[in-house]
Amino acid sequence: MSKAISNVGDVVLMLYARAVVRGRDRGDVPGWVLVTIMTAGLVTGLWLVADDKLRQLFTDALDGVTGNSP
């Protein structure tokens, strides 16, 4: 009989642990959203400031690989 009770206790403990973990995962979503939005903002800001330089850097890199250097 104690073996059955122990198994039920293990199941209850497992269900409780899952409920606690799910509660924590739901709290992390706003953090990920914030990180994503901030990253997009930083990339956009850098792109606006350095568009010409980045375009030239990319073109030079492709020309160096393909052998089309001026």
Residue 59 has pLDDT above 50, yes or no: yes
Alpha-carbon distance of 68 to 62, in angstroms, equals 8
Enter the DSSP assignment of 1.
-
Provide the whole-model pTM: 0.45
Q: How many helices (H) and strands (E) does the chain have?
A: 1, 0
Q: What is the pLDDT of residues 4-49, one digit of tens each?
A: 556 767 777 777 777 766 555 555 668 888 899 999 999 999 999 9
